[in-house]
Amino acid sequence: MSEPISFYEQVGGMDTFRRLVDAFYRGVAEDEVLKPMYPEEDLGPAAERLTLFLAQYWGGPTTYSENRGHPRLRMRHNPFHVDPDARDRWLRHMRAAVDEIALPPALEAPLWDYLERAAHAMVNTFEPRGIGPTSDGRTGTGLPIRSAD
């Protein structure tokens, strides 16, 4: 019996994930809150990581884990101030990107459902910006967050 066709293949493979993530990062590039969070000025490498992660998640090639190891996404987002505002901005750009790739509704629904749930799960602070960890590991208030500091 042949293998059931993966979601990755149903939506059109790597090309579709690239178009989705490229559209998403066009929004991020213009976002005054999200753009400064990215450690690299060039968003290209970050776009490549998100593309490969999503492709792998939906049953495509496992290149993401071959390059980056276990995703551990919550942990990898710890250095960034992901508050509800950042989440809503992330989702707004992703919504525009999902609209742009115009998948059939039966495919778009599970993709969007996953992205929305994942974005809610990524929130790691309810503090205003400037308080809590920053991307270089310092605390925004100057208060130590670990006694070993």
86 belongs to the binding site for ligand HEM (CB under 6 A):
yes
Give the residues across from 139 on adjacent strands. 133
Residue with tokens 């974005």: 119
Distance CA 36, CA 29 (A): 9
Exactly one of 14, 23, 46, 131 binds ligand HEM (CB under 6 A); that residue is: 46
Separation of alpha carbons 125 and 43, rounded Å? 24
Judged by beta carbon, residue 38 or residue 112, the one nearer ligand HEM is 38
- CA–CA separation, 12 and 33 (whole Å): 32
CB-nearer residue toward ligand HEM: 4 or 36: 36
Q: Which of 26, 35, 87, 95 binds ligand HEM (CB under 6 A)?
A: 87
Task: Read off the amino acid at residue 68.
Answer: R
Residues that bind ligand HEM (CB under 6 A): 34, 37-39, 46, 49-50, 53, 68, 73, 76-77, 80, 82, 86-87, 90, 115, 118-119, 122
